[in-house]
Structure formats: C-alpha cells, structure tokens
Structure 1
Amino acid sequence: MKKINTIIIEDDKFNVLALTRIIEKHFPEITIVDTASRVNESIQKIKFHQPELLLMDIHLIDGTSFDVIRQCRDQQFKIVFMSAYHEYVIKAVQHAAVDFVFKPFDINDMVVAIDKAIDQLQDENYKLKIETLFNNVEQNQNRIILQGRGKLRACKVEEIVWGKAIQGGANFYMLDNSYFFVTKPLRRYEAMLTDFSFFRCHPHYLINLNHVTEIKPDSQRIRMRTGDEVIYENRRYQQLSERLDHHKEFA
C-alpha cells in the first residue's frame, strides 16, 4: 500500500489530536509527517516534506491557509479545508469544488472529505480548482466549477442563464448558447447559487433572475435572455414575482 504523506495545518491542538485519531483509525495508508499552526512554518514544512495531502484550517494564528497555498503553488497536493466561519470565503471554497468541512467537524463528514481527497490524488484538473479558488478569494470573482464526466468547466456565475435537472445530473445553459452537463444533481448547485440571484422555479428548473426578460402567466413560462423559455410551477409564481421585484429594486 502506497503511503500518503500528510501535514495537518491547524492552530487548535485538540483538533490536531482529533484529526490524528481519525486518520489512525480509518486511514492506514496515510502517514502524518508533520503539523503546523503558522503561515511561514506551514510553507517551510510543505516544501520540505512535499506531502500529497493537506488538512488545513482556513484561519491560522497569523494569517490564512490561502497565504500558505499562494507560496506553494508549484507543489502537488490535495487539500481538505476546515473552518468555523460561515462567510464569503467559504462559498469561494465550495464554488471551487475543493473539499471542505465545517468546524466543529463531525467525524463522518471528515472521513468522507479525506476519502474524496484521496480519490482525487490523480485528478489532473485539480490545478483549475485551485486557480478558481484564488480568483474568487483574491479578485472577488464569483466563479464556479461545473463537474462533468471526466472534465470540468470553470465559469463566472453570471454566465449561467438556467439549469435543467435530467437523468444522471443536470444541464447548465450559458449566455453564449452553449451548455454543459454536470454529473451532480441540480439541487447540489442550487445550494451554492441561491445567494447569487438564482431561483428554483420548478422541480426541474433553476433560473438566473438576472437573465429573465419576461414572465408569461398564460403559458406558465419564463423567457430568458438567450431566447429559451423555461416552465415554472403555478404555485411558485407569487414567490417568483416577489423575487424579481426585489431583485430589480436592488439591481
């Protein structure tokens, strides 16, 4: 069994101990080669050990894990992020499709996140995920990773016009009239996009309110900027109308 060298970057010694116990119990293939709690210390240890996996708290004593990664972009590793803070940076991480666990973490959630990171050790698209993460954090861009069969698409949230749930995943339709198939359910993306003016108008459809040009009550359809027409449920009409009015008021 190939050993996976891992560094825990965390400033809470009790969390370090908890993570160590989880790894010892569930992951015999993982070797914890070191721990760190500060930015420069983490950078030095990553460059020395060249680990395959990092378990990182986002907020460190003297900075953030992004300060660390910024100095180690040439290294090849996967990351499981941890944080107790529910803020914009958390959405940036989620939109980039990198593994994340809220603190205080549930043991099962952590096991699943580490498992997923191990599965991605050979992921050739991981660099795109990290670059998307930095675009969101450093340049305040709202970019999201769409995960298809064996390929990814990084796009700005505002480029997505609408999404449709289909068997095996969902299709997202773009401003340039292209579409991209994702292998995860539409609801998975709905949770990430709701704060960015998206609305579930029908069990099968998710729309970007920024691109609505007309509502047609007679046919229960919504006309989008691309010319596509999306069906809405009659029982959601009132909420749709209110969301649009509110959106236009603050646009």
Structure 2
Amino acid sequence: MLRILLVDDENDALEALEWKLNKYIENVEVTTCNSPLKAISIIDETKPDVVFLDIQMPEMDGFSMIEKLNNRDFNLIFTTAHDEFALKAIKVSAIDYLLKPVDKDELLAAMEKVKKPKKGDFLESKLQLLLNNLNDNNDKINISADGKVYILERDDVVMLKSDKSYTTIYLKSEQQILVSKTLKEVEKKFLFSEFYRVHNSYLINLNHVKEYLKGLGGELIMTNGLTASISRNRKIELFKKLYLD
C-alpha cells in the first residue's frame, strides 16, 4: 500500500486530486491536509511514501514547509497553478511537479517515477539544491559553529575537509572553522555549482583549484596551499568541470 499525503489550502483541488489518485492508481491510501503547519506534523508522525505539495498557500508556502521538515524521506511532487520562477528552480533541481488542474496522464507519469528509488539522501540533496536555486543570487552561506553563526561568501570558501564526525572549513583568509557535523551533513549548505565533492573527505571550491598533481587518484593544490585527494570514481567528472584533458 502506497501512503500518499496531499497538501493544499484549496479543498476543491484536494478533492479532485484525491479522486483521481483513488480512481487511477492501485493500492493507495490517500490522506489530505489543507494546512502546511499540520502537514509538517503528519509527515513526521506517519512518514508517507509520497507527498503532493502545493506551492502557493497563505499560511506558509511549500518551500518554507519543506525547510521545516525533520523527515524528508519521501517522494515529493509539487503542484501549482502558476509560478514561472518557482517552476524553473524546481526543474533545475530535478524534482517532479504537476500543473493544476492535474492532468490524468501527467499524474500517471509522475506516479510511475515514484516507483523508482528516489528517497533518503538523494531527495534531501535535491531539496537543498532547490532551496539554493530559489535564492541563487544570494552568495552567502550560513554555518553554525562555536556558538556563533558565520555568514560566509561563497568565494571565500576554499575547501572543506572531513575528520570523522567533524568538518573543517578553510577560508582564503586562512581562517578555519571547525563544525561539529560530518561532511555529509555540512555539504548540504554547499550545493552550488562551484563546489564539488572530489573525495569522501574533501569538498572543494573549483574556483580555488591552483594545480592538479597526477597520480593514482591525483591531488589538487588549492589557492591556500592545501591539498585535496581525488577519488578515482570522481576523476572523470572533475576533469569535465575543470576543463582538463
């Protein structure tokens, strides 16, 4: 049984989508909610498999709602009547969406995608990328550490290095910020095009790469003089990003 939650402040839209899901999709259990605040609690408590989320709601928009979620382990499909800017951000983030009123064939196609693995960290990264894309003109990154919140310019960050459950952020000013989170957790703040995970232990700013040292995996010399190892399985993609032969 596929558990589905519909979140929309318009009851007519909820009823129409609920009807189509029950009529055209087999083995579904559909729950509806017209309050994004209540939906947050429902998602955390019931852990649905799929969430259809309206973007424009008076109480809280869909993007604000996903920022507040503790549980993001579900398939997400946005629904919207219009919002060209938001749709562009959603497309770039590769998250599915449906235009209202929801077309039967488009609904069936979206539900087919749900059958593919799309949960956990993969969705988490897409959601964070979406939030970054929505505010892509903002070059600042907020990092909490040492009882403070650091407001960092993207270009000021040279690289990040993992040390088990800690991450060190190296700035071009030679300042270091030690964050008591894993690199996997901190990486969610750096889902911008100039940042690339070259190794399990290193996330680098491509604009701060100074040299490439050949080897089994290879190493990068950064503008601050520090080195970053390269995983063999990341090498081809890295070469494309750095325009190396």
Shorter-chain TM-score: which interval?
0.5 to 0.7
- For 1:18, the equivalent position in structure 2 comes to 16
CA-atom RMSD in angstroms? 3.2
In the alignment, the residues of structure 2 paired with residue 37 and residue 138 of structure 1 have an alpha-carbon distance, to the nearest angstrom, of 26
Alignment of 1:87 onto 2:153? no
Structure 1 15/118 Cα, relative in aligned 2: closer, same or farther at 3 Å? Answer: farther
Matching of residues 39-118 of structure 1 within 5 Å? 39-118=36-115
In the alignment, the residues of structure 2 paired with residue 136 and residue 73 of structure 1 have an alpha-carbon distance, to the nearest angstrom, of 21
What is the identity, as a one-letter code, of the residue corresponding to 1:5? Answer: R
8 Å contact 1:141–1:156 — kept in the other structure? Answer: no
- For 1:150, the equivalent position in structure 2 comes to none
Structure 1 56/63 Cα, relative in aligned 2: closer, same or farther at 3 Å? Answer: same
In the alignment, the residues of structure 2 paired with residue 124 and residue 70 of structure 1 have an alpha-carbon distance, to the nearest angstrom, of 15
Structure 1 125/178 Cα, relative in aligned 2: closer, same or farther at 3 Å? Answer: farther
TM-score (structure 2 length as normaliser):
0.55
- For 2:34, the equivalent position in structure 1 comes to 37
Question: Which portions of structure 1, spanning 4 or more consecutive aligned residues, are displaced by more than 6 angstroms?
Answer: none
Deviations 1:46-92 (CA, angstroms, capped at 9, x unpaired): 12211111011111131211121111143311111011123211111
In the alignment, the residues of structure 2 paired with residue 93 and residue 72 of structure 1 have an alpha-carbon distance, to the nearest angstrom, of 18
What is the identity, as a one-letter code, of the residue corresponding to 1:67? Answer: S
8 Å contact 2:5–2:50 — kept in the other structure? Answer: yes
Structure 1 26/87 Cα, relative in aligned 2: closer, same or farther at 3 Å? Answer: same
Deviations 1:221-240 (CA, angstroms, capped at 9, x unpaired): xxxxxxxxxxxxxxxxxxxx
Alignment of 1:131 onto 2:128? yes
Specify the SS of the correspondent of 2:15.
helix
In the alignment, the residues of structure 2 paired with residue 119 and residue 72 of structure 1 have an alpha-carbon distance, to the nearest angstrom, of 23
Alignment of 1:176 onto 2:213? no
Deviations 1:148-184 (CA, angstroms, capped at 9, x unpaired): xxxxxx7639x9xxxxxxxxxxx9x9551169xxxxx
Report the number of matched residues: 155
- For 1:156, the equivalent position in structure 2 comes to 193
Report deviation, 1:112: 0.9
What is the identity, as a one-letter code, of the residue corresponding to 1:94? Answer: K
Deviations 1:172-210 (CA, angstroms, capped at 9, x unpaired): x9551169xxxxxxxxxxxxxxxxxxxxxxxxxxxxxxx
TM-score (structure 1 length as normaliser):
0.53
8 Å contact 2:93–2:130 — kept in the other structure? Answer: yes
Deviations 1:89-117 (CA, angstroms, capped at 9, x unpaired): 11111110011111222111122112212
What is the identity, as a one-letter code, of the residue corresponding to 2:242? Answer: D
In the alignment, the residues of structure 2 paired with residue 35 and residue 178 of structure 1 have an alpha-carbon distance, to the nearest angstrom, of 51
- For 2:4, the equivalent position in structure 1 comes to 6
Consecutive unaligned residues of structure 2, counting only runs of 5 or more, are 140-190, 197-236
Structure 1 50/175 Cα, relative in aligned 2: closer, same or farther at 3 Å? Answer: closer
Structure 1 48/84 Cα, relative in aligned 2: closer, same or farther at 3 Å? Answer: same
